[in-house]
Amino acid sequence: ALLTEDTVTIAVQVNGRRRDELTIARDASKEDIEAAALKLENVERAIEGRKIKKVVVVPLRIVNVVA
């Protein structure tokens, strides 16, 4: 039998460039993942002064912030 972990590490990109990683519960909603990603220090620094146009969340894989 395979064991699954309760947490997962998700890559966070800003404008296609990898900025950070996020470790979050496997069953977290898209909204929770998005909120946690936007609070990361490296992400805040990368979008500083820009308006966020779109946030793409692929559960268990990646978050891409387009600013």
Residue 41: which residues within 8 A CB-CB, separation 6 or more?
A: 20
pTM check: above 0.75: yes
Domains in the chain, start-ordered, CATH in brackets?
Answer: 1-26+50-67 (3.10.20.590)
At residue 1 the predicted structure's pLDDT band, cuts being 50, 70 and 90, is low
Per-residue pLDDT at 4: 78
At 12-58, the pLDDT tens digits run 999 999 999 999 999 999 999 999 999 999 999 999 999 999 999 99
Q: Are 21 and 7 in contact (CB under 8 A)?
A: no
Rounded to 10 degrees, what is the CA torsion of 10, 29, 32, 63?
A: 30
Per-residue pLDDT at 64: 98
